[in-house]
Amino acid sequence: MTAKPVFRRGGPLLGLAALLLAAAPAAHAACPMELSVYGDATDAAGLDFRPTGESMVVTNSFRMNLRIGVQLDGIVMWSEETPRPYASLMYQCPEGDVTGDEIAECTLWEGPVYAAGEDGKVGTIPAERTPAPQTLIFPDLGPTLRQASIFGEDADDARLPGDIFTLKGCQE
């Protein structure tokens, strides 16, 4: 004689079903790139992405907030010669009608930006309105910032970020 399974109210199957249902919305609620928040491994800096608006050239906008109290403005544009995302980090740039020389003078770092997912695959930083990746890589950001004259004595490894930023959360 084969025993029939007994299902009791509140038993393990019901608990498992409740757990799966509770986890389902979280799995589908990915943070969009324009609201993502990243941090480096030493908490020397954070990146807060924000909507770019109606720009035809800029695909992503963000701020880098340094633990030493300095805020840098960042943008991502796609390069024409080799199509890939190219970012710039600027400090106190003039606004309005400015020359290329004025922008160059306040730009602390420029370079490509890469993204890595939880699966470890590396690609390019996504555009707005797409899910934010787990990791962003800004090649040579750390060494370049350490050479910037605006940081003076604060330009050491503990006070300035490295090149890799991990997703920390999502802005409301």
Residue spans per domain, the chain: 30-170
Q: Integer distance in angstroms from the first to the last C-alpha of the chain?
A: 58
pLDDT for the residue numbered 23: 36
- Please give the chain's pLDDT, 172 residues, in tens: 544 444 344 444 333 333 333 333 343 368 999 999 999 999 999 999 999 988 888 999 999 999 989 999 999 998 888 888 999 999 999 988 888 899 999 999 999 999 999 999 999 999 899 999 999 999 999 999 988 888 877 666 667 899 999 999 999 8
pLDDT for the residue numbered 78: 87
Q: How far is Cα 83 from Cα 76, in angstroms, rounded to an integer? A: 12
pTM for this structure?
A: 0.79
Query: Which among 85, 93, 67, 92 has a CA at the least distance from the CA of 139?
Result: 85
For residue 57, give every residue at least 6 positions away whose Cβ sits within 8 Å of its Cβ, in sequence order, or none. Answer: 77
Q: How far is Cα 116 from Cα 74, in angstroms, rounded to an integer? A: 19
Maximum distance among all Cα pairs of the chain, rounded to whole angstroms: 88
Per DSSP, 8 falls in state -
